[in-house]
């Protein structure tokens, strides 16, 4: 990428989330560029999905701030700057942040099993104020793009089809920020190729910021501009994909960057230190 460095879509500061005696998400500082795609990489249980949940404010019980969580997560929505962890659930709903402005595709899709694929997309759109006719048109367009029928019951869909529906539902809002938790894992080769092409097209939009949790080399090569390596709840390394080229090559050969150990209690930079 040439030209001036991009502004930050996300700025994480002094983030500490204790999730039990053996795991703490501990990120003193992290910036994710706006208008680019960031890949979160690391071993299983390294904190990738945990961090993504905070970027989308879907942590804890979803309806209240998670306990044992401190720090700041700033989101820049094209001039409007929000500290996400400071917002109550009422404020999040009032701002219509999730869905229209910030799309999230979970590993567990959170679909409505009793509804058809088209109604799984229409219902969230109309709840956000989209007129029913427009919502149905958007839903049909997105289902066509992910190659799913309109009328089958969701409970009869395969795991791969459910992933495609979850992606279609998020994309129907055309959000400025898109958060993807392993959206292409478990797909058959034909579906994988089509969806990867679709994501490559969508993430090329300079007005959209995307963060994707993945283990797949092709996802990184086709989609990512920026890379963050996670290890045991901490950031081991981050930078542009070009700057991380050597680490990426080693990662896909099985060598995962290790984060520096946390500072001892009371040391400069340790949580709670003056």
CATH 3.20.20.70 assigned to 37-64+90-251? no
Q: What is the pTM of this model?
A: 0.88
Residue 58 or 190, more confident: 58
What is the rounded distance in angstroms from the CA atom of residue 164 to the CA atom of residue 197?
Answer: 13
Does residue 112 surpass a pLDDT of 90? no
**pLDDT computed for residue 155 by the predictor:** 85
The whole-number average pLDDT for the span 55-69 is: 70
Residues 76/7, Cβ–Cβ less than 8 Å: yes
- State the chain's mean pLDDT as an integer: 86
Cα–Cα distance between 3 and 38 in angstroms, integer? 19
Domains of the chain by residue range: 37-64+90-251
62 pLDDT higher than 70 = no
The model's pLDDT over 6-55, given as tens digits with 9 standing for 90+, comes to 689 999 999 999 988 889 999 999 999 999 999 999 999 999 999 999 99
């Amino acid at each position: 990428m040439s030209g001036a460095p991009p502004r930050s879509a996300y700025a994480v500061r002094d983030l500490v989330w204790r999730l039990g005696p053996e795991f703490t998400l501990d990120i003193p500082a992290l910036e994710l560029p706006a208008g680019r795609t960031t890949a979160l990489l690391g071993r299983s249980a390294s904190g990738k999905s945990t961090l993504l949940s905070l970027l989308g404010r879907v942590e804890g019980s979803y309806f209240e701030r998670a306990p044992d969580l401190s720090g700041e997560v700033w989101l820049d929505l094209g001039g409007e700057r929000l500290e996400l962890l400071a917002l109550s659930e009422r404020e999040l709903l009032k701002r219509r942040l999730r869905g229209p402005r910030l799309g999230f595709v979970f590993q567990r899709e959170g679909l409505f099993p009793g509804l058809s694929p088209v109604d799984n997309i229409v219902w969230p759109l109309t709840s956000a104020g989209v007129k029913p006719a427009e919502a149905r048109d958007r839903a049909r367009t997105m289902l066509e793009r992910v190659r799913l029928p309109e009328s089958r019951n969701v409970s009869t869909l395969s795991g791969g089809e459910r992933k495609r529906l979850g992606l279609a539902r998020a994309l129907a809002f055309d959000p400025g920020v898109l958060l993807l938790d392993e959206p292409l894992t478990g797909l058959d080769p034909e579906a994988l190729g089509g969806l990867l092409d679709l994501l490559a097209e969508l993430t090329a939009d300079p007005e959209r910021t995307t963060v994707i949790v993945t283990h797949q080399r092709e996802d990184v090569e086709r989609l990512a501009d920026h890379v963050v390596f996670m290890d045991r709840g901490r950031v081991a390394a981050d930078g542009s994909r070009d700057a991380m080229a050597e680490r990426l090559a080693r990662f896909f050969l099985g060598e995962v960057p290790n984060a520096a150990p946390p500072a001892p209690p009371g040391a400069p930079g340790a949580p709670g230190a003056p």
